[in-house]
Amino acid sequence: MAKLVNRTTILVVDDEPFIRGVAAEYLRDAGYLIFEADDGVEALSFLDENPEISVLFTDINMPGMDGFALAAEVRARRPLMRVVLTSGRERPTAAQMPDRGYFIGKPYAEGQLTLLMAKAAA
């Protein structure tokens, strides 16, 4: 089966290397271009250096800058950035979600993640 080529570039942010790697692999297999970051500070550096990134996929529960703070900072810098939040510990309230943002709970299946990412990237 031929891999679909997708021009959407996604930044995957999670402080757990294994979880981040699995999500990145799922999305690469779906044809997305992927950058990976360990934390919010590294994520902001990637965003500054790579204007082609159009979707932020971030864990909520991270040390230092959590996913909510990262999403808010990203939207302040790039208002049209699409944001997908994830967590295995909590489900955000509507007030906590960025405008036009999405949430997927952990653990997620590959198909669930790729379907949601296609919706977010559209």
Domain formed by 9-121, architecture: 3-Layer(aba) Sandwich (3.40)
pLDDT, tens digit, 9 for 90 and up, residues 12-69: 999 999 999 999 999 999 999 999 999 999 999 999 999 999 999 999 999 999 999 9
Helix (H, G, I), strand (E, B) or coil at 58: strand
pLDDT at 3 over 60: no
Q: Where are the domains of the chain?
A: 9-121
Please tell me the distance from the alpha carbon of residue 21 to that of residue 81, in angstroms, as a whole number.
22
Q: What's the CA gap between 87 and 108, in Å, rounded?
A: 10
Q: Please give the average per-residue pLDDT across 109-119, as a whole number.
A: 95
Residue closest to 68 by CA, chosen among 43, 97, 48, 88: 97
pTM: predicted TM-score of the whole model, two decimal places: 0.93
